[in-house]
Amino acid sequence: MMGRAGRVPSLSDVPQLGVGATPDGYNRLVVASDAVLFNHAGAGHQVKINKSAAGDTASLLFQTGFGGRAELGTAGSDDFTFKVSADGSSWAEALRIEAATGRVTAPVSGWREMLTGPRTYYVDPLLGSDTRDGQTTGQGAFATLDRAVTEVAHVDGSGHPVTVQLADGVYDLGAVPVGIMAPLGGGGIEIIGNVTNPNAVTVTSSGAAMELVTGRLKLHGVRLETSGTKPTLRVLSGGVLEVDQVTFGTAGGHIDLVGGRLDGGGSYAIDGGAAYHLRLSQGAVLGGGVQALTLSNTPNFTTAFAICTMAGQADFSGHSFAGTATGRRFDVATQGVIQSGGIVLPGDTAGSVQSGGIYV
């Protein structure tokens, strides 16, 4: 409607407005057009999207057929994020810029953040969420161990250690092992549970529980067990493992080193049986060192306490054992070597040396 002298009347507090389309109660401003121009009146121009609180959303949403495909803005926090979706329901965060620090992370692109100091990721199965950044306790923590070690693999440690701190609770990993890789650039990874009561942090699985793929892992203050035939820990050729204040419960096997290395240090316990406690193959090494092992509940090892085969080498010098076990003490074959260091290994049956094996 034209006003006097052909002028358009001033519009103020209009409940809805549609340009080439019909607005509704949610989309109260609707424009259907080939393009929209916001021009400057003076030197510049700003488009502002304001929200009430940090936990609200201020973003631009790009759609296909009215289904979300990309979003950029501050959604759920004041961090600026870029997200994409193929179906409008499952979203992947491609880029995040932290409001407090300006730190840029790219969780799914393979672009690694370079650390400038030690980093700790927290995991809490009761209070945490895998949508958080895991860098604070409680509700800021991750909910799963898998999410935490995935985040570790995405950073460049630059020589700085990365710690995964587990809250008390049960971590059921299911049938698929959690693959662990130390951060690129060195520094190693340390997974810590409850060092005064390892049984308060139980990692369980129906398959292999944890698999160290590469780098150095220190494992402290956890209980490990499996319900199937797989081991609680598997160390591949690029991995070096150290355990301290760890309890091994009933499992298919306890530690399986396939070309990896286990370094002695600290103390740990066994209170459940398995096919074996240690199995070393394909050039795997148990390094000498001070390692105190306490056995309770008389665990039974159905194959042998220690198995060395295919050039696996175990040096028990400096180790000590308290408590008793049943089963064969060792089984060594095919260029496997066990250096006992004069120590009698746990078990109630003599060990066996098969073709090509050496026991000293």
3-state secondary structure 206-251: CCCCEEEEEEEEEEECCEEEECCCCEEEEEEEEEEEEEECCEECCC
CB count within 10 Å of CB 21 equals: 12
Return the higher-pLDDT residue of 8 and 245: 245
Q: What is the overall mean pLDDT for the chain?
A: 91
Residues contacting 166, CB < 8 A, separation 6+: 123, 145, 191, 192, 193, 194, 201, 222
Distance from C-alpha of 304 to C-alpha of 163, rounded to nearest angstrom: 34
Predicted structure pTM score:
0.71
**pLDDT tens readout for residues 75-94:** 989 999 999 999 988 888 88
Q: Kindly state the average pLDDT of the residues 20-47.
A: 94
| Residue 110: predicted pLDDT | 55
Q: Tell me phi and psi for residue 6, to 5 degrees.
A: 75, 15
| Residue 287: predicted pLDDT | 84
| Residue 155: predicted pLDDT | 86
**pLDDT tens readout for residues 309-355:** 999 999 998 899 999 999 999 999 999 999 998 999 999 999 999 99
Query: Contact 352/331 with Cβ under 8 angstroms?
Result: yes
Is the pLDDT score of 1 beyond 60?
A: no
Which of 5-14, 178-187, 266-275 is predicted least confidently? Answer: 5-14
Q: Kindly state the average pLDDT of the residues 59-82.
A: 94
Q: What tokens were used for 9?
A: 């009347």
CB count within 10 Å of CB 238 equals: 14
Q: Kindly state the average pLDDT of the residues 123-146.
A: 94
